[in-house]
């Protein structure tokens, strides 16, 4: 099982633990993540102001993966959604495709539709499968209570991403529970964390994450599990800002899903990048017998 690996912009520079833990658990499951040499931004950040440039940026990455003859694996919900929306547009709008390929021709590239876009979490659920993941678990995380946060852009817009269960998904909960941890239900589970507006409306983003944290804390969890670097920053870094702003204490550790799976696979927490997490993870790890 081999993919062209696209970590995006945020994970390598701001949530390093997400990328490194993804690479480690992938090896445990015989998934080869091949680096995309020369890749650029997915285009998500510029789409609101220049849709064409966003699609050209995405298409250039598609071309790189096509040369590798591999589908693209992403770990960022924003990259996932933007790539799929761009690809759908190129497949259904001949005029747009010609316009994009005219631009790409200046660097001797052409979009030819052969590459598919897959989120790492969906690869685990759909292609690796729960049974094989369970076989890789050597230290079940029994007694660990977690709050799952899917994030908006891995599910919506559903008509672009093809999800029928976007209002009440269960696949990430199943990926969590195969590790032995328990996914706890909570109010407004599918509400946005505020991550997409961090750069433009920080006060509102902080208010949004506060609302989520209060509801998550009410069900007494040991950690929050995410599959998106933007969401992770909200739950990890902005959580500390919300504590200061509202003079409240939440202190709920953030785990990237591959970190959760990695400790269940018996991998070293330091190697999984837990040292980078802003909210202290020691108490949560001690719950499953790990001193960190």
Domain ranges for the chain: 2-120, 130-286
Phi, psi of 105 (to 5 degrees): -65, -25
* CA distance from start to end of the chain: 33
- Kind and range of the H or E run holding 82: helix 77-92
* pLDDT, position 63: 97
| pLDDT beneath 70, residues of the chain | none
CATH number of 130-286: 3.40.50.11810
Give me the DSSP letters along 199-241. TT-HHHHHHHHHHHHHHHHTT--SEEEES-HHHHHIIIIIHHH
CATH number of 2-120: 1.20.1050.140
* pLDDT, position 114: 81
Averaged confidence pLDDT in the chain: 95
* pLDDT, position 162: 83
Q: pLDDT digits over 141-179, tens only? A: 999 999 999 999 999 888 888 877 788 999 999 999 999
Q: pLDDT digits over 17-53, tens only? A: 999 999 999 999 999 999 999 999 999 888 888 999 9
* pLDDT, position 113: 81
* pLDDT, position 198: 80
pTM metric for this prediction: 0.95
* pLDDT, position 259: 98
Q: Which residues pair with 182 in a beta bridge?
A: 145
């Amino acid at each position: 099982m081999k993919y062209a690996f696209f970590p995006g912009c945020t994970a390598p520079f701001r949530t390093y633990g997400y990328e490194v833990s993804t690479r480690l658990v992938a090896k445990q499951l015989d998934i080869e993540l091949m680096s995309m040499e020369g890749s650029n931004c997915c285009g998500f950040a510029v789409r609101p102001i220049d849709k064409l440039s966003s699609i050209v940026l995405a298409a250039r990455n598609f071309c790189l993966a096509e040369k590798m003859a591999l589908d693209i694996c992403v770990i960022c919900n924003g990259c996932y959604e933007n790539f799929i929306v761009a690809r759908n547009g190129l497949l259904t709008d001949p005029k747009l495709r010609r316009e994009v390929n005219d631009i790409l021709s200046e660097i001797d590239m052409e979009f030819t539709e052969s590459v598919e876009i897959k989120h790492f979490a969906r690869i685990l659920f759909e292609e690796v499968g729960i049974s094989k993941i369970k076989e890789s678990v050597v230290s079940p995380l029994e007694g660990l209570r977690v709050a799952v946060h899917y994030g908006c852009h891995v599910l919506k817009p559903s008509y672009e991403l093809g999800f029928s269960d976007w209002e009440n998904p269960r696949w990430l909960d199943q990926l969590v529970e195969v590790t032995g941890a328990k996914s706890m239900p909570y109010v407004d589970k599918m509400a946005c964390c505020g991550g997409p507006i961090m750069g433009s409306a920080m006060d509102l983003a902080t208010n949004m994450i506060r609302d989520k944290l209060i509801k998550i804390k009410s069900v007494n969890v040991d950690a929050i599990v995410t599959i998106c670097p933007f969401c992770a920053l909200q739950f990890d870094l902005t959580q500390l800002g919300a504590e200061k702003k509202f003079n409240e204490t939440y202190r709920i550790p953030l785990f990237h899903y591959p970190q959760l799976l990695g400790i269940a696979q018996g991998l070293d927490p330091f190697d999984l990048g837990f040292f980078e997490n802003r909210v202290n993870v020691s108490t949560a790890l001690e719950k499953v017998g790990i001193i960190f």
